[in-house]
Amino acid sequence: MAQRAAIIGGGVIGGGWAARFALMGWDVALYDPDPEAKRKMSEIMAGAARALPMLFEAPMPPRGTITHCATMAEAVAGAAYIQESVPERLELKHKVYQELQANCSRDAVIGSSTSGFTPTQLQEGAAHPEQIIVAHPFNPVYLLPLVELVPSLKTAPEVTEKAKETLTKIGMYPLHVRAEIDAHIADRLLEAVWREALWLVKDGIATTQEIDDAIRYGFGLRWAQMGLFETYRIAGGEAGMRHFMAQFGPALKWPWTKLMDVPEFDDALVDLITEQSDAQSGALDVRALERLRDDNLVAILRALKGREAAAGKLLIEQDTRLRAPLAGSVPLVTVRRTVPVDWADVNGHMNEGRYGQVFSDASEEVMTHVGADRAYIDAGHSYFTAETNIKYLAETLVGEEFIVETRVALGQGKKLRLLHEMKRPSGEVLATCDQFLLHVSLTTRSSCPPLPDVLARVEALAKAHADG
């Protein structure tokens, strides 16, 4: 049975949490008194359901349900994990904890999305402070893995551990913030940049567009893969970090930044920024901007995944968690996944080269299934593809789910012939592949019969598939 999460507050952030939990197989109970909450949630879910599965090579778990509850008590009943995402007002958050702690299980974790309050502030007046922990996510919650996990001295250690475990299982990167401070780690950094950006606009130095360009054409790209300190270490050249600090340390004392001064948020500044932002991005509505952002994030994260770097490494770990051994069905279902955005070509559909990837993945699953797995390959044996014949029967679009069904048409000595059918969930065939493989010795790089166990399984499959 699916585990149950309760989401209190279903706006930008609560909606993102609900989508991530449900897409990772949890049943979600959501409470938000906003009469528009259902519509907003379904729009967030549509975006998330398109984007999140694109990150993975492995099949997603069966999707959990999202139930809109009429009361907070109904939402938290039976929930193992509760995430509060109501507006950033301390007295409101206190009120919410009072009500939900009167109704939730004592074993449930209560995470707060707060951007800036400390866990000690959140726990003030709570009946059970030990259940409460800051779990600060980043927008969009369904794609960005970071969640700052900040316990206080009153938070029970097992709550921190349970939170880490749950958040890791749903594909997030819980960063344990060891000391509680206002705005945790990341928002403290973001606030500094935000403050400087506001001054640059107010002083007429740069427009919102120019500031965004300065970030996305330059240091924004660096930060996604190495962060700040590793980047600056490299900037110190052969002499490294010490040299970097000797060169640029003194600059911190020069008037390069406005430091802690905050510009007055008067009407003039708000109007100036809103006008510039409208000129920059007003042609697209928020859903179109979200889709653009999500597609770019998916492409960046997948590029990092290919390099096993930074957040990409986490996706590989999640793929491992999601991947289940092949069931022995006839035919075998060897691939179950979604077409990611980076597989599209100029025609706006999955590029022909990617079909080769899909069928290659399918044959690797068959190899693993018959025992020609990583250990077998490391011991010097494998299969090489000698021939493929792919037929493209229908267009496959970005964001589409598909499966590959595979039959072993021949399994005789060193010869292996696989017939793959790539299908929509409706059963419509998108492409077929007739693939001929030869068993090889990786020492001689020449063909040879498989080891007896593998051969026996290949022969058994060929027989079952001929009969089935």
**At closest approach, how far in Å is the CB of 458 from ligand L46V6VHR?**
51
CA separation for the pair 80, 29 (Å, rounded): 11
Considering the complex, state which of residue 194 and residue 384 has its C-beta at the smaller distance from ligand L46V6VHR. Answer: 194
Any binding-site annotation on 300? no
- 114, 276, 334, 363: which one binds ligand NAI (CB under 6 A): 114
CA separation for the pair 364, 451 (Å, rounded): 17
Letters for 163-202 (x = contact with ligand L46V6VHR by CB under 6 A, - = none) are ------------------------x--x------------
Q: Which candidate, 371, 367, 338, places its Cα nearest to that of 354?
A: 338
Phi-psi map region of 375: left, alpha, beta (phi>0 left; psi -120 to 50 alpha) = alpha
Chain length of the chain: 468
- Asked if 142 is part of the footprint of ligand L46V6VHR (rule: CB under 6 A), the reply reads no
- The stretch near ligand NAI (CB under 6 A) out of 48-56, 133-141, 142-150, 243-251 is 133-141
Considering the complex, state which of residue 72 and residue 135 has its C-beta at the smaller distance from ligand L46V6VHR. Answer: 135
- Residues 415, 348: contact at Cβ < 8 Å? no
Letters for 24-53 (x = contact with ligand NAI by CB under 6 A, - = none) are -------xxxx--x----------------
Partner in contact with 66, chosen from ligand L46V6VHR, ligand NAI, none, beta carbon below 5 to 8 Å by kind? none
**At closest approach, how far in Å is the CB of 139 from ligand NAI?**
4
How wide is the angle at C-alpha 201 spanned by C-alphas 196 and 205, nearest 5°?
95
Shortest-Cβ-distance residue relative to ligand NAI? 11
- Asked if 138 is part of the footprint of ligand L46V6VHR (rule: CB under 6 A), the reply reads yes
- 5, 6, 13, 454: which one binds ligand NAI (CB under 6 A): 13
Partner in contact with 438, chosen from ligand L46V6VHR, ligand NAI, none, beta carbon below 5 to 8 Å by kind? none
- 2, 3, 12, 449: which one binds ligand NAI (CB under 6 A): 12
CA separation for the pair 203, 269 (Å, rounded): 10
Q: Which candidate, 140, 5, 141, 25, places its Cα nearest to that of 67?
A: 5
Question: 84 has which bridge partners?
Answer: 8, 112
Q: Which amino acid is at 92?
A: L
- Residues 389, 448: contact at Cβ < 8 Å? no
- Asked if 85 is part of the footprint of ligand NAI (rule: CB under 6 A), the reply reads yes
Phi-psi map region of 79: left, alpha, beta (phi>0 left; psi -120 to 50 alpha) = beta
Any binding-site annotation on 111? no
**At closest approach, how far in Å is the CB of 455 from ligand NAI?**
56
Radius of gyration over alpha carbons of the chain, in Å?
26
DSSP states of 314-360: HHHHHHHHH--PPP--SSEEEEEEE--GGGB-TTSSB-HHHHHHHHH
Residues marked as binding? Answer: 9-14
What is the binding site for ligand L46V6VHR (CB under 6 A)? 115, 138-139, 187, 190
By the criterion CB under 6 A, which residues form the site for ligand NAI?
A: 8-14, 31-34, 37, 85-88, 96, 113-115, 136-137, 139
